[in-house]
Every structure is written in structure tokens, then in C-alpha cells.
Amino acid sequence: AKSNPSVEKADVLVVNGHRIQFVKTARNPADLPWGKLGVEYVIESTGLFTKKTQAEGHIKGGAKKVVISAPASGGVKTIVMGVNEKEYNPSSHHIVSNASCTTNCLAPLVHVLTKEGFGLETGLMTTIHSYTATQKTVDGVSMKDWRGGRAAAMNIIPSTTGAAKAVGEVIPSTKGKLTGMAFRVPTPDVSVVDLTFTATRDTSIKEIDAALKKASATYMKG
């Protein structure tokens, strides 16, 4: 792709001497020249092609694998690193979802709680979430709900989140046991997850903290 018709060659991004070719955007992923460019792995981060049938367009364009950087639908396998990446099957999982940022925060925590034997009878997750590109800079119309139409940088906006449901897909033993809500807050970066849960056995804050610290230094390190 050329940023200006007058330039002689297509634009490239140079990173440590490695030249990365720019491509012209397309409404249909199948029209992107991945095969011609030798691209094998595509990160689908537009937020527009999260259904399996849509993401398959990248495969038709010549890519071999697609990672969707958002919750996906249509039978796409969801993988959260440190939690269920061993379930990945390279021979059949050509399109996978890396879930949402909130799911990547919540799933490792729930994974440790279940792995270390605390169990999870029920839980409520609340995320204090920075505003995103889907929100409005000034008050306007929102297709999702009226609250979502409020100016992002001036309001705390209650919203929904699919992270709790997604964790149930990644950790099947917790399916149907978690629920959650979100508050979109007027900050451009940094979000936090708060989890309140009922364990299946007696425990203490001290014991839970010790288990999380142990996990961070061993099987959850990195």
C-alpha cells in the first residue's frame, strides 16, 4: 500500500532492519494478499471479524493460522496462555481466540484457585475498565444501550462483560458459576479486575495469597 500516490514504492515499516510490508485495507479479509506476501500467521485485531466464518477469510487469502484478539463465536477455540494452551491442536485449530483483556486477567486467577484446591462454588467479577475505541468522545447515540452513548472521558458507565462466561469456556469446571459486570471509567489506559467468590472449602486470605505467590514463581511465571 502507498500512503501517497506520488511515492514510487509501497510503504514498509522497518523494525531492527526487518522490512514489514504495508497492505491496503479490504472490507473482506479474503481479499488481502497474505499468500502473495508469504504471511503465515495473522492477528485479527480489528474487532470486526470475530466470527469463525469471517476470520476464515484470512485463510482464503493465503494465511495458515489466525489469532483473534477478542472473544470469538462460531466454534472458535479460546486459548488463554498459562491456563489452557496445552489444549491447542495445531492440526485442527487453525483459527483461535485469545479472548479479551479482562478474560486474560481473570482466567489465570481462577485457574490458580481451582488448581490449588480452593474450588469455586460461585463468583462475581467486577472490572474497572478504561474506555475503548467503541465508546463516544461526546454524548451521542449508542446502538448497544443508552448508557454506552455517554462521553467516555467524562463518565463512569456501567456496562456488560463476557469475561465471566469466557472463563467457563477456558476452565469448564467453572462454567455457569461466574457472573460479572464492568464499569467503563474515564482513563485511557489500565484496568483492574476484582473477584469475589465462595470457595468450596474453608480457607483464609493468607492461604490464598500464599498460593497465588507460589503460582507466580512456578507454573504461572512469565
May I ask the CATH class of domain 101-217?
Answer: alpha beta
User: Which H or E run contains 195?
Assistant: strand 192-198
CB of 99 within 8 A of CB of 190?
no
Q: What is the DSSP string of 88-110?
A: --TTT-SEEE---HHHHHHHHHH
- Please say if the pLDDT value at position 2 is more than 90: no
101-217 and 12-97 share a CATH fold: no
Contact criterion met (CB below 8 Å) for 67 and 104: no
4 has a pLDDT exceeding 80: no
Confidence (pLDDT) at 23? 83
pLDDT digits (tens, 9 = 90+) for 189-214: 999 999 999 999 999 999 999 999 99
Higher pLDDT, 21 or 135: 135
pLDDT tens digits, one per residue of 52-64? 999 999 999 999 9
Instruction: Please confirm, yes or no, whether 101 is among the known catalytic residues.
Output: yes
Query: Contact 118/211 with Cβ under 8 angstroms?
Result: yes
- Mean pLDDT in the chain? 93
Please name the amino acid found at residue 10.
A
pLDDT at 7 over 80: no
Cell (9 digits) for 18: 526487518
Contact 98, 41 (CB under 8 A): no
Cβ count near 51 (within 10 Å) = 14
CA distance 178 to 37: 43
**Residue among 23, 37, 101, 199 flagged as catalytic:** 101
C-alpha 63: how far from chain center = 21
State whether residue 15 is helix, strand or coil: strand
Residue 1 pLDDT grade (very low, low, confident, very high; cuts 50, 70, 90): low
Q: Which residues pair with 20 in a beta bridge?
A: 13
Average pLDDT over residues 108-135: 96
Cell 467468590 belongs to residue: 197
What's residue 9's pLDDT?
75
pLDDT higher than 80, residue 6: no
What's the pLDDT at 144?
Answer: 84
pLDDT at residue 10 greater than cutoff 90:
no
| Domain 12-97 CATH class label | alpha beta
Angle of helix 163-170 relative to helix 101-115, nearest 10 degrees, comes to: 50
**What pTM was estimated for this model as a whole?**
0.86
Domain edges within the chain:
12-97, 101-217
The answer on pLDDT for 12 being more than 90 is no
| 135 neighbors 141 (Cβ within 8 angstroms) | no
Task: Summarize pLDDT for 17-40 with one digit per residue, the tens.
Answer: 988 888 888 899 999 999 999 999
Percent of the chain predicted with pLDDT > 90: 83
User: What is the pLDDT, as a whole number, of residue 3?
Assistant: 67
Mean pLDDT of 99-115: 96
Mean pLDDT of 171-183: 95
DSSP SS3 for 178 = strand
Say which amino acid occupies 144. Answer: K
Arithmetic mean of pLDDT, 88-95: 97
